[in-house]
Amino acid sequence: MIREIGKYRDGRIVYYVDDKTPSFGYIAFGVIDRGTNVLQARPTTICPQNCIFCSVDSGLKSTHRWAEYIVHPDVIVNGVVKALEVKGCSVEVLLDTIGDVLTYPWLIELIRKLREIPGVKSIALETHGFLLSKQLVDKLSNAGLDRVNLSIETLNPDKARFLYGNPAYDLRRVLESIEYLVKETPIDLHVTPVWLPGINDEDLVEIINWALKIGAGKKWPPLTIQKFNKHKYGRGWNLKEVSWSEFWRFIEKLESTLGVRLHWTMDEWGMHYARRVEPPFHRGELVEVEVWGRGWLRREYLGVIGDKSLIGVYTRRHHLIPGRRYLVRIIENEDGLLIGIVEKAIS
C-alpha cells in the first residue's frame, strides 16, 4: 500500500510505499529487469537539485510530476531476490532512480541488506552528489557499496549551481568527497557527464582529466559521456540536441585528442544478457486494477494488479478514485513496466 506522508508547496504528494507492495511493474520505483545481469533498483524519486537538462523533470521545480515516493527497503530486496531466482546468474544492483538516491533515508540499511543476498555480486549507485560528504562516503563503504557513478557536467562552481538549479550546490565539497572516496575506500568511481552541446564542451575535457588524475576506474571503466536527449516529460527543451552520429564524432574526437577511451563494450562492463522476470500480463490484456493514488506524472494514477504487479493507469474522461477498482486494458509492457487505460469502473 501507499500512504501520504507529505506535500510539496506545488501540491505534489509524497507517498510512503510499504513493504507489502509488489516490486515490479512501475517505472518510478521498485525493481526493473531489462534482461541483463544488471537490475535497476529505485527506492525513491526525490531529488534536491533542479538540473536544467533533467530527463525526468525531477527536483525542486518539477512541472510534470504530481507525486513522489519513498519506498520500504524490502520492496527492493524482495524484487532482487525474485529476479535472482529467475536469472540463474549473479547480478549487479544499480540504484539509479528518477531522483537522487542519496536522499533515500534508508540507503545504508538497503545496501547492507542487498549485500547479504547471495548472488548480488556488486552494488552501484548513480548520483549528482549534492548530498555527498566524507562521512557519508565512509558509511557507504562500510555498508558494502562497490561503485559510484557520478554525473558531473562542469568543474566550475558557478556553472554547476546554474546547471543544477540549486544555489546550495557545493561543488568543492562534492569533489573533495569523491576524491576521498577514490583514495581512502575500496569504492570505485565511474564518471558520467552529460554532454550539453555548446554549454560544457570544454568542461568535459577538464572532467576527463580530473577523473583520470584522481584514479577513477579501479575496476570498472573510468568514464562514459552521456548524450543529452529531449524527453517528452523532461526539461531542457531550449537546449541543443545533436544526432547520434554527431555525438559519436564528438566522442571519437575527444578520444583521439586526449588519448583516452570513452565508450565500452558490455563485456568490459561485465554485463551480459540473462533470463528476465517475465511480465505477468501482456499488451492488450484486460486486468482488474485497484487504484492506490497518484502516479508520478500528472494525469497518471498508480494501481496494483492483485499482489502481482504495479501499473501506471490513465483514464480518458474521469478522475480515478483511490481504493476503487477498474477494468484496465494494458497498452504497454516493455521490460515489465505496465501502462494501462481504464475501460470501466468495477467498484
- CB closer to ligand SF4 out of 83 and 160: 160
- Note the residues at the interface with ligand SF4 (CB under 6 A): 47, 49-51, 54, 56, 58-59, 99-100, 128
Number of residues assigned to the chain: 347
- CB closer to ligand SF4 out of 22 and 30: 30
- CB closer to ligand SF4 out of 87 and 147: 147
Min separation Cβ 253 and ligand SF4, Å: 25
- CB closer to ligand SF4 out of 54 and 83: 54
DSSP string, 148-193: EEE----S-HHHHHHHHT-TT--HHHHHHHHHHHHHHSS-EEEE-P
In this structure, are strands 30-33 and 286-294 parallel, antiparallel, or unpaired?
unpaired
Min separation Cβ 194 and ligand SF4, Å: 8
Whole-angstrom distance, CA of residue 235 vs CA of residue 232: 8
Whole-angstrom distance, CA of residue 282 vs CA of residue 38: 23
Question: Residue 128's closest CA among 161, 158, 106, 105?
Answer: 161
- CB closer to ligand SF4 out of 46 and 84: 46
Min separation Cβ 124 and ligand SF4, Å: 16
Specify whether the backbone of 165 is left (phi greater than 0), alpha (psi in -120 to 50) or beta: left
Min separation Cβ 184 and ligand SF4, Å: 25
Min separation Cβ 51 and ligand SF4, Å: 3
Min separation Cβ 257 and ligand SF4, Å: 27
- CB closer to ligand SF4 out of 54 and 311: 54
Residue 330 phi/psi, 5° resolution?
Answer: -80, 125
Does residue 309 contact residue 338 with C-beta atoms inside 8 Å? Answer: yes
